Amino acid sequence: MNIIELLKVLVLGIVEGFTEWLPISSTGHMILVDEIIHLNVSAEFMSMFRVVIQLGAILAVVVLYFKKLNPFDPGKTDGQKRATIRLWIKIVVACIPAAVLGLLLDDWMDAHLYNGYVVSATLIVYGILFIMLENRNQYTEFPVQRVTQISFQTAFYIGMFQVLSLVPGTSRSGATILGAMILGCSRAAAAEFSFFLGIPVMFGASLLKLVKFGFDFSGVEIFYLILGMVVAFVVSVYSIRFLMGYIKKNDFKFFGYYRIVLGVIVVAYFTVTALLA
């Protein structure tokens, strides 16, 4: 273990925490950053590390929204507790499509889709879609203003959009926010529901990666994981607060333009790297 490797883990944790909740693809950023700084670990560990440090990001949602997500909060009325339980059922319903396909396609996607060209294509395509959707929504009054107003049917349809995020570079939050807005959810409701969906999805994905890796860690690898998760947690708290404050006065078009620019940078980087190899 040396200071350079620790700084690399620190950078990866910051990138994960900042990009996980913004609709700009944390996986796309992690792949690009890993190509540039290249943490000195095995490919198997890095594949698992990119997913498992998301646990730190997820804990940020749990902490920030603990009262809202806790159906046993003594300060809630019976009606509010029932509404919270219904919200959790909707979250589970929305997670089913991605959970099923994720289990079936995980190995295939790791082998065929985790590359810069796929990431750049999805970054650009979904960036364009965000801009087009927000231009259409310029004067739209969304019928669903709060997550509690999302129906079970709408939750399931949002879950179908979440399936798109299995392709690297799509962005889980990007796919679900885009889908929720198409289905009539406000920007705030779409973003919050996307946060909540991340809890079971990312816990499940992390557990799957840990099982496949075999829990056979060296002391240094355990330290890297813990440090990455802690940094991701701290940065995620800021990232979530930033996004919810930003969309109160702005739309998502900025993130669309950002995705397009990043997609061009990614494809240029990997093309130049391939030519120089």
Provide mean pLDDT across the span 166-176: 88
Q: What pLDDT, on the 0 to 100 scale, is given for residue 25? A: 86
CA dihedral 32, 205, 68, 88 (to 10 degrees): 140
Percent of the chain with pLDDT over 90: 56
Q: Residue 172 corresponds to which tokens in the numbers above?
A: 């889980």
- Give SS3 for 239: helix
Q: From the centroid of its chain, how far is CA 107?
A: 19
- For the entire predicted model, the pTM comes to 0.88
Provide mean pLDDT across the span 17-36: 84
Q: What pLDDT, on the 0 to 100 scale, is given for residue 255? A: 95
Q: What pLDDT, on the 0 to 100 scale, is given for residue 93? A: 95
Q: What pLDDT, on the 0 to 100 scale, is given for residue 28? A: 75
Question: Which range is least confidently modeled, 72-76, 110-114, 160-164, 203-207?
Answer: 110-114
- Do 257 and 131 meet the contact criterion of CB atoms below 8 Å apart? yes
- Do 91 and 199 meet the contact criterion of CB atoms below 8 Å apart? yes
Q: What pLDDT, on the 0 to 100 scale, is given for residue 1? A: 65
Summarised one tens digit per residue, pLDDT across range 217-259 is 888 888 999 999 999 999 999 999 999 999 989 999 999 999 9
Summarised one tens digit per residue, pLDDT across range 59-118 is 999 999 999 999 999 999 999 999 999 999 999 999 999 888 877 777 777 777 777 788
Percent of the chain with pLDDT over 70: 99
Task: For the chain, give the mean pLDDT.
Answer: 89
Q: What pLDDT, on the 0 to 100 scale, is given for residue 158? A: 96
Number of residues assigned to the chain: 277
Task: Please count the CA atoms within 13 angstroms of the CA of 80 that sit on its side-chain side.
Answer: 10
Decide which of 143 and 167 is more confident.
Answer: 143
Provide mean pLDDT across the span 176-204: 93
Paired with 185 in beta bridges are 144
Q: What pLDDT, on the 0 to 100 scale, is given for residue 276? A: 85
Q: 115: phi > 0 → left, psi -120 to 50 → alpha, else beta; which?
A: beta
Q: Residue 217 corresponds to which tokens in the numbers above?
A: 């860690």
Alpha helices in 169-252 (DSSP H): 172-182, 187-213, 219-246
